[in-house]
Amino acid sequence: METNFTRDTIYVDGQWVPAQGTGKIEVISAYSEQVIATVPQCSRDDIDLAVKAARSAFDKGPWPRMSAKERVAVIARLRDIIEQRQEEIAQAISAEMGSPITQARSIQASLPVKMLDEQMQIAANEYPWSEIRESVTGKALVRRLPKGVAVLITPWNAPLMTTIQKLGPALLAGCSVVLKPASLAPLSAYLLAEMAHEAGIPAGVLNVVTCDRAEAEYLVLHSGVDKVTFTGSTGAGSHLAAACGKILRPITLELGGKSAAIITEDADIPAAVEALKMLSFRNSGQICTLKTRVLVAESRATEFTQAFKAMVESLPVGDPSDPSTIIGPMVSEKQRDNVVRYIEIGIKEGLSLVTGGLGRPEGLNHGWFVKPTVFADVDQNASLAQEEIFGPVVTITSFETEDEAVAIANNSIFGLSGTVFSKDVDRAVSIADCIKTGVVEINGNPFGFHAPFGGVKQSGMGRENGWEGFESYVELKSIGLPRDYSPNAI
């Protein structure tokens, strides 16, 4: 990864053009604390050009008028280019936001390829782009047609994965796109634009702008936009949803989480602890689906806490470019300070500190690090059990009955993810059915990209992944037909 990634252009209408805005956004290494890149801070004029290009590509260009299989062929080329450049992508994401390089390779760079594989499979073979529906009240040709210009606002913690999660269905549906990556992690978006250009995605179908919040909101509310999707904080998502509501603009939101892992009395404790290594601490604790509340059956609480403590204390903390590192730095000084503030709150409230706590990890005199921290015997209403911390901080709470475990899991404003550990899978599924959350993983098993993903309550609105992920980018149109008419093709 080059140490200076300075760019003074943005990708608009199929070409790299100078930004009209004169400001710069600095990308600072979470490890060295030094500036490693600058990109333009776009002005409203830049936003206008990007939306104009996307609008023209949708209204006049070939992309929305291609068949789904023709679009799949183009996206397949993009998929292959991403696969070829995975190491470059991993290095860029590790450099810009501090993701440990081994996880950057296995998650940040490789999962987008797997996502595209499943998205293309759905688009080519499974999604009902057109269908005939007939009943006693009529006969209809039901079409799913591209919605229009889609704005994609993506987060810094998994920048390419969340982009592909949105971009794949949007493009395969025939939409054109304006992508606004997070200011803390814009580098992978530049790489994506290069790869999309090489793949032959038509001019204006993908546009990439880098800007701050004011210009981002201007983009969201732009009169040339038809659809918005946002992944980020609940506060920012709520604000954008309210603004979109005033103009009746559809928006999909994937927001915060405070997910629970339920450890039943019959659970395999060593297996659960091993699974929670990644389920609770992946990407240095900076993932919205992480299980940061561990609920343990009272009869197993001491055993689990001791094993969990040993696991956490074994996690290598350090340079994200070191393949052995599991816990890297927080993305920014502000994020580090916020995580430290929560650890201070836990100590001040008298929570039982199992491991970690305040101060830098040993041997690290630079970088925005915090110690992986665990508190036990935490009341379910404590701040640390209720508020999203977004760092390597986990609370442990015990329960006596299954109903109590479910009640504690549901005692949250969030409802994004969760997991149940039990040797009895039927029992675990029964518990999962009672948890008010968008996804639940039994014994840590992933649900895959063919299944819908999203949250309830303040964790968001709408779903991504699966064929349901396409629904946000299409408009349904019903055409009444004569009973004796059969279209040549649907």
CA-CA-CA-CA torsion for 430, 432, 434, 435, nearest 10 degrees?
170
User: Roughly what angle, to the nearest 10 degrees, separates helices 402-410 and 425-434?
Assistant: 40
DSSP letter at 469? Answer: G
Which residue matches tokens 């915060």? 256
254 flagged as catalytic? yes
Gyration radius of the chain over CA positions: 23
CA–CA distance, 246 with 354 (Å, rounded to integer): 48
- What span, in angstroms and rounded, lies between the C-alpha atoms of 151 and 163? 11
| The 259-263 sheet, strands edge to edge | 352-355, 373-376, 393-399, 291-297, 259-263, 418-421, 441-442
CA distances from 83 to 34, 71, 105, 187, 323 (A): 29, 19, 11, 17, 20
At residue 414's C-alpha, the angle toward residues 408 and 415, to 5°, is 80
C-alpha 171/C-alpha 175 separation (Å) is: 5
Sign of the C-alpha dihedral, residues 31, 33, 38, 42? positive
CA gap 389, 335 in Å, rounded: 9
CA atoms within 13 A on the CB side of 327: 28
HSE, CB side, 13 Å, CA atoms: give it for residue 99.
Answer: 29
Half-sphere exposure of 457 (CA within 13 A, CB side): 17
DSSP-derived secondary structure letter, 467:
G
How far is residue 351's CA from residue 358's CA, in Å, rounded to a whole number?
14
Which of 118, 215, 254, 471 is the catalytic position?
254
Tokens of 273: 């602890």
Whose tokens are 């052995």? That residue is: 324
Q: 3-state DSSP: the chain helix, strand, coil percent, rounded to 5?
A: 40, 20, 35
Distance CA 99, CA 113 (A): 18
What is the tally of helices (H) and strands (E) in the chain? 15, 22
**DSSP H helical segments within 247-300, as ranges?**
269-281
CA distance 384 to 444: 23
Residues marked active site are found at: 254
